[in-house]
């Protein structure tokens, strides 16, 4: 569900950092969201605005987010 929400925000042109327990878990969430019908992203380019991260490795990046 988080990846789908990230896609909806990315549809507005806002870059998104999707955090999960691990980067791999976040990547899998994005992959599952991309397979849903209808695709939550308006265009394939929207997914380029969504980056996946893990809490341990990337939580510090959240401080730079709006």
Q: Tell me the pLDDT tens digit for each residue of 3-37.
A: 999 999 999 999 999 999 999 999 999 999 999 99
64, pLDDT greater than 90? no
Structural contact between residues 31 and 54, judged by C-beta atoms closer than 8 angstroms: no
Domain span at 19: 2-61
What integer pLDDT is reported at residue 19 of this predicted model? 93
**In this predicted model, what pLDDT tens digit does every residue of 36-61 receive, in sequence order?**
999 899 998 999 999 999 999 888 88
List of residues 6+ apart from 28 with CB closer than 8 A = none
Structural domain contains residue 44: yes
Number of domains in the chain: 1
Structural domain contains residue 34: yes
62, pLDDT greater than 90? no
């Amino acid at each position: 569900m988080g990846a789908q929400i990230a896609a909806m925000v990315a549809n507005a042109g806002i870059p998104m950092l999707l955090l999960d327990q691990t980067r791999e878990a976040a990547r899998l969430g994005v992959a599952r969201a991309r397979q849903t019908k209808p695709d939550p992203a308006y265009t394939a380019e929207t997914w380029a605005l969504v980056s996946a991260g893990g809490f341990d490795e990337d939580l510090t990046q959240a401080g730079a987010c709006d």
